[in-house]
Structure 1
Amino acid sequence: MADLGHSSDDTSVDSREENSSQDSKPEFSEDEETLISRMYNLVGQRWSLIAGRIPGRTAEEIEKYWTSRYSTTTE
């Protein structure tokens, strides 16, 4: 019976991770934001190159962050 309680804990952790990965706006630390901004000024929209400087981040996350934060399109 103890195993059943343990597996439900794992499920709740997994579901939180899935929800956080599907958020429309990823969370970034202040240091990450600064690095992204500096790298963007140096290399432009080369998201994979920028992501390579930030451990644990993907090019897609970096691009999504940038476009959600700095998008200038008006509708």
Structure 2
Amino acid sequence: MATSENSSSDYRLTTSPEVNQKETRVQFSKDEEALVIRMYNLVGERWDLIAGRIPGRTAEEIKKYWMCRCSTNC
């Protein structure tokens, strides 16, 4: 019976809305932030072009960073 209780509590922990909300904020280094700002000023909301200049970053990550940066909710 202890096993089924652990399984249900594990399930609640992994699907908790608080966990998902905390993970939505994307962390960028100062250099990456500066590059995103410069590129945005040059090309606008062309996230795929900006992501192409920052190794290891996706267009979605950059867009999410930009939206959080401009929003008071993040």
Q: TM-score, normalised by structure 1?
A: 0.64
Q: For structure 2, which runs of at least 5 residues remain unmatched after alignment?
A: 1-18
Question: Within 1, Cα distance between the matches of 2:38 and 2:65?
Answer: 14
Runs of 4+ more than 2 Å apart: none
1:71 CA drift (Å): 3.1
1:43-54 → structure 2 map (5 Å cutoff): 43-54=43-54
Q: What secondary structure does 1:67 align onto?
A: helix
Q: For structure 1, which runs of at least 5 residues remain unmatched after alignment?
A: 1-18
Aligned position for 1:26: 26
1:56-71 → structure 2 map (5 Å cutoff): 56-71=56-71
Q: Which has the larger radius of gyration?
A: 2
Relative contact order higher in (CA < 8 Å, ≥ 6 apart): 2
RMSD value over aligned CA atoms?
Answer: 1.8
Question: Within 1, Cα distance between the matches of 2:27 and 2:52?
Answer: 17
Q: TM-score, normalised by structure 2?
A: 0.65
Question: Within 1, Cα distance between the matches of 2:40 and 2:52?
Answer: 13
Q: What secondary structure does 2:54 align onto?
A: coil
| Fraction of identical pairs, as percent | 67
